[in-house]
């Protein structure tokens, strides 16, 4: 078991969100939303993940509510190295292999043997791509608009980003168009910066 990894809920009682909080899901649409109020980013080919930390305890939770921390000790360790002691981030676990993200190699990380997990963590380390901040310190940000949450995350990541933790800037329509056609990506996410988080009222579209 990774140092700091804790699958129980009691250790996270000071957080505003329980470990079984479902992430906000995207809606599948046929048309790309239009209007300058939308922002865009690629859909990452990985495991959706909520990252929880309260003091010396860290857990990574899948969108189905299953703990992932034991399979990604390098991510747990990276989160424990951050100066901030309490947070909840929304992101995607990905595994870079050269110029691509390998979902097949990422799936190999879900191995029941601890020694195998540790070997893969050294040889093929994963990365947590963050795109939302639901709590930072004592501040519950869920009621804040996405634009405010992203601003908090962007500021935080100026000093927190590293090989295991990353953050992708959202693109507004003008910048998005200048970065090429949406067909160049497998899928794009579109989000309204005015949206607050809600598991039952998703604010983004694929």
Look up 27 and say whether it is catalytic. no
Q: Find the helix or strand (DSSP H, E) in which 24 lies.
A: none
Residue 33 CA to residue 189 CA, distance in Å, equals 10
Burial (0-12, 13-18, 19+ Cβ within 10 Å), 36: exposed
| Upper half-sphere CA count for residue 178 (Cβ side, 13 Å) | 5
Name the residue among 48, 182, 164 with its Cα closest to residue 103.
48
| Upper half-sphere CA count for residue 111 (Cβ side, 13 Å) | 16
* DSSP label at residue 184: G
| Residue 33, C-beta contacts closer than 8 angstroms, at least 6 positions apart | 190, 205
Q: Contact 24/17 with Cβ under 8 angstroms?
A: no
Choose the catalytic residue: 43, 63, 66, 119. Answer: 43
Q: Contact 191/42 with Cβ under 8 angstroms?
A: no
Cα 80 → chain centroid: 16
Q: Just list the catalytic residues.
A: 43
């Amino acid at each position: 078991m990774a140092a700091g990894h804790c699958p129980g809920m009691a250790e996270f009682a000071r957080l505003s969100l329980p470990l079984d909080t479902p992430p906000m899901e995207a809606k599948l649409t046929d048309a790309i939303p239009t209007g300058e109020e939308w922002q865009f980013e690629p859909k990452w080919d990985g495991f959706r993940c909520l990252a929880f930390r309260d003091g010396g305890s860290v857990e990574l939770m899948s969108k189905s509510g299953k703990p992932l921390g034991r399979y990604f000790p390098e991510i747990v360790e990276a989160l424990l190295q951050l100066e901030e002691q309490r947070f909840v981030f929304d992101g995607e676990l990905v595994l870079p292999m050269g110029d691509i993200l390998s979902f097949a190699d990422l799936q190999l990380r879900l191995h029941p043997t601890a020694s195998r997990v540790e070997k893969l963590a050294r040889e093929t380390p994963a990365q947590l791509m963050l795109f939302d901040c639901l709590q930072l310190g004592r501040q519950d940000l869920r009621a804040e608009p996405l634009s405010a949450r992203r601003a908090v995350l962007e500021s935080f990541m100026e000093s927190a980003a590293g090989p295991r933790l990353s953050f992708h800037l959202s693109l507004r329509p003008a910048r998005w168009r200048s970065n090429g056609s949406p067909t160049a990506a497998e899928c794009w996410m579109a989000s309204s910066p005015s949206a607050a988080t809600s598991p039952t009222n998703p604010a983004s579209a694929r």
